[in-house]
Amino acid sequence: MRVVIAEDLFLLREGMASLLKEHGFDVAEAVGDGPSLLRALTIQRPDVAIVDVRLPPAYTDEGLRAALEARRQVPGLPVLILSAHVERLYARELLADRMGGVGYLLKDRVFTDEQFTDALRTVAHGGTVMDPEVVAKLLARRSSLPPVTRLTDRERQVLALMAEGRSNAAIAQRLVITEKAVSKHCTSIFAKLDLPPSDDDNRRVLAVLAYLDS
């Protein structure tokens, strides 16, 4: 799996590159600023890109903007955004094109390599991974807007784990229920959120988007 890394801190960039190599990823290019990221993404067309939100030259949100621009040029280009903080605002912008293949994680998650590489693979395969902190913020909010109010508590738990990018098997394990029960909950969630029948990955992206917009 070919990866492009955009991170301005040399230590973190090299650390991530060696961690990924250990796990069998192929680091196609590692860049340190916004313009070279956009160039690398459009030329290399990696299977997945790991992008720090804040990059030189201006240290604002160059990384995020370069990633969004690259996805405009290469629709659905899988991007995992890393940041020292998470904002629902950015999560929404990332999901706005409804193409999936998007991840948004705190930099801290890199420490736990299994979680990190799992997330990377999920994103590369078109899935959606939101940081537990984004999801926690959603849970803290008393969702009073339909259609999320139509969900039962259990369905909301499933949706939250879905937003974190977990597979049905992982959700089943976490909630200590059978995988069959999870897929039943999923069907019910998709129906309540008025999501038209399509492939499961796409519906999961749309469900997470509806959740973020609630």
Partner 1 sequence: MGCVESVPKALQRWLRALGWAGLFPVVMCLFLVCWGARPWTWAVVLAAAAVTLLAPAVAADLLPVALIGFGGYAVVLLRRSVTFPPGSGTTTGYPFHSVVFGNGLPHVVDLSAGLLMLVVGAWLVPRTIGVHSRLARRNSELLSRVRRLTITRVDALDTATAELRRIERDLHDGAQARLVALGISLRATERLIKTNPDAAVALVAESRENSARALAELRALVRGINPPVLAERGLGDAIRALALDCPVPAAAEVDLPRRLPPPVEAAAYFAVAEALANAVKHAGARSVHIRAAHAAGVLRIEVTDDGAGGADPSRGTGLRGIERRLGTFDGVLAVSSPPGGPTIIVIEVPCAS
Q: Per rule CB under 8 A, is residue 194 in the interface with partner 1? A: no
Q: What does the alpha-carbon distance between residue 71 and residue 38 come to, in Å, rounded to a whole number? A: 10
Among 11, 24, 142, 199, binds partner 1 (CB under 8 A): 142
Q: Which stretch binds partner 1 (CB under 8 A): 10-18, 108-116, 123-131, 151-159?
A: 108-116
Q: Per rule CB under 8 A, is residue 68 in the interface with partner 1? A: no
Q: Per rule CB under 8 A, is residue 148 in the interface with partner 1? A: no
Q: Per rule CB under 8 A, is residue 72 in the interface with partner 1? A: no
Closer to partner 1 by CB, 45 or 92: give it.
92
Q: Which stretch binds partner 1 (CB under 8 A): 3-11, 16-24, 141-149, 154-162?
A: 141-149
Among 21, 72, 98, 141, binds partner 1 (CB under 8 A): 141
Q: Per rule CB under 8 A, is residue 84 in the interface with partner 1? A: yes
Q: Per rule CB under 8 A, is residue 22 in the interface with partner 1? A: no
Q: Per rule CB under 8 A, is residue 150 in the interface with partner 1? A: no
Residue with tokens 């998470």: 86
Q: What does the alpha-carbon distance between residue 172 and residue 178 come to, in Å, rounded to a whole number? A: 5
Q: What does the alpha-carbon distance between residue 119 and residue 139 come to, in Å, rounded to a whole number? A: 21
Among 22, 26, 108, 200, binds partner 1 (CB under 8 A): 108
Among 21, 72, 85, 180, binds partner 1 (CB under 8 A): 85
Instruction: Please answer whether residues 174 and 126 qualify as being in contact, where contact means their C-beta atoms are separated by less than 8 angstroms.
Output: no
Count the site residues for partner 1 by CB under 8 A.
23
